[in-house]
Amino acid sequence: MNLDKNGYLTHKEISKFIHNELKNQGELNQVPHHEELAMVKDILSQEDKDRDGRISRLEFSGEAHREF
């Protein structure tokens, strides 16, 4: 998920992750693009505790996945 391996998840990285997950699950055509963007916005609003526009490892409350 953390494509550039800098220790932060950005809007772009989260968006790519969600897009790929929907594609892998065969649901990409069922979810409008604006809903994908809403998912990204929701994740950022919940996880970006310091409101700097990115999610650090410390802020991330989900399971620590290798792809972070």
pLDDT at 23 over 70: yes
Q: What is the pLDDT of residue 39?
A: 96
Q: What is the pLDDT of residue 42?
A: 96
| Distances from the Cα of 59 to the Cα of 6, 10, 20, angstroms | 14, 13, 23
Report domain extents, the chain. 8-56
pLDDT at 65 over 70: no
DSSP sequence for 1-66 = --TT-SSEEEHHHHHHHHHHHHHHTT-GGGS-HHHHHHHHHHHHHHH-TT-SSEEETTT--S---T
Among candidate residues 35, 31, 53, 34, the one with its CA nearest the CA of residue 44: 53
Give the predicted TM-score (pTM) of the model.
0.84
Worst-scoring range by mean pLDDT, 3-12, 18-27, 56-65? 56-65
